[in-house]
Structure 1
């Protein structure tokens, strides 16, 4: 989930699209053939935090990948349209002209993307909020506040909370494991031309990010052992 995607886009997605529920089911396709599940013999992986079967881990990552592929285009569009919007607004002389132009853009985005946005689940929305931050450098809450109003941002976030979504969520691949996984999936998709690459608003060095998590995993057991 926006609006330029701008704002009514953002506001619309937030208040309506996330209302859907979703059960994580997985249907294998030819593109997923590299991920194979063994029914007769399950490999078990032990970690410092928990125990899980390898097939469950792969399934979770595949579901995450599909969510990313579904919502990344919206996040990219948000960044593209915000750039276009700001450039055009800077050329307009009066507030009346700017307001009129904004309404035109808003109406177009609603008509063009509303059907697709309504198909997003709440979990898709959680990922989209993160990716919007990745591509714009701003939280969804701040975008609504800037292009609409503080009041609408407050109510949009209050509504989103009902569906376990926080519009103030940032994208932190160095701190949050899921965000690191998202960045890895995006990096692979860009390299394989599966998604159109758009640089994040705040540069991310994936090699450094990878090394950061490798070192974090290595040092974590030692730190816990000292407790």
Structure 2
């Protein structure tokens, strides 16, 4: 009896393997190509039928904004001008600090790390002395927000990490005198007008 059960089980296994082999050996059905179908695309086997497909880029649909008054539109235009004015500086800061973090990650020598931090600090300071110092108070406030948006940390935190707590405190005191706040953070919800301008700016296309 046991032998007969094992024999039947053996037959079932062989039959299932043959059935699977027949299913796998069956030819997939491809769509009929036309004379203009010359682009190679990915295809997915859907129950024997090959369904061609290709990925599409994300499409962001933004409605045309209407303003309640000419003054509101003028204010938005000024904001747009200021955002586009300082956005390159925020992106530069992002790239430069990302490079600094990569450089610091590959060395444990304190002297080398100190030199790398100073080099980065000198480059940022040079940019401030030549261009950023000409920014208006409003543009400076927007810049601190955008640095937080791009780098993921406030300007105060960046100074504290690279120069120390006392330097960050000193810079914050100076910034507050001229109407800035190095601890300003960015919120895509609260700063939705700025976010809309950035999304439509073309920087991330």
Same fold per superposition (TM over 0.5)? yes
Q: CA RMSD in A?
A: 2.2
Q: Does 1:149 align with 2:164?
A: yes
2:156–2:168: 8 Å Cα contact kept in structure 1? yes
| Residues matched between the structures, number | 141
Which of residues 179, 183, 198 in structure 2 aligns to 1:168?
183
Separation in structure 1 between the aligned mates of residue 164 and residue 119 of structure 2, nearest angstrom = 18
Separation in structure 2 between the aligned mates of residue 184 and residue 146 of structure 1, nearest angstrom = 31
With normalisation by structure 1, the TM-score equals 0.57
Q: Where in structure 1 are there 5+ consecutive unaligned residues?
A: 1-43, 46-53, 191-195, 199-227
2:144–2:154: 8 Å Cα contact kept in structure 1? yes
TM-superposed CA distance for 1:113, in Å, is: 5.1
* The structure with more radius of gyration: 2
Separation in structure 2 between the aligned mates of residue 167 and residue 107 of structure 1, nearest angstrom = 19
Q: Where in structure 2 are there 5+ consecutive unaligned residues?
A: 1-66
Separation in structure 1 between the aligned mates of residue 125 and residue 148 of structure 2, nearest angstrom = 21
Matches within 5 A, 1:31-180: 45=68, 54-112=69-127, 114-174=129-189, 176=190, 179-180=191-192
Separation in structure 2 between the aligned mates of residue 164 and residue 118 of structure 1, nearest angstrom = 13
Query: What do the CA deviations read for 1:20-55 (whole angstroms, capped 9, x no partner)?
Result: xxxxxxxxxxxxxxxxxxxxxxxx94xxxxxxxx11
Separation in structure 2 between the aligned mates of residue 111 and residue 141 of structure 1, nearest angstrom = 18
With normalisation by structure 2, the TM-score equals 0.63
TM-superposed CA distance for 1:120, in Å, is: 0.8
Separation in structure 1 between the aligned mates of residue 152 and residue 126 of structure 2, nearest angstrom = 26
Name the counterpart of 2:49: none
Structure of greater relative contact order (alpha carbons < 8 Å, 6+ residues apart): 1
Change (3 A) 1:104 1:168: closer
2:96–2:120: 8 Å Cα contact kept in structure 1? no
Separation in structure 1 between the aligned mates of residue 126 and residue 184 of structure 2, nearest angstrom = 27
Query: What do the CA deviations read for 1:34-82 (whole angstroms, capped 9, x no partner)?
Result: xxxxxxxxxx94xxxxxxxx11111101110110111011111111111
- Any idea what SS the aligned residue of 2:201 has? helix
Query: What do the CA deviations read for 1:144-188 (whole angstroms, capped 9, x no partner)?
Result: 1111111111121122112222211111122x2xx1000001111
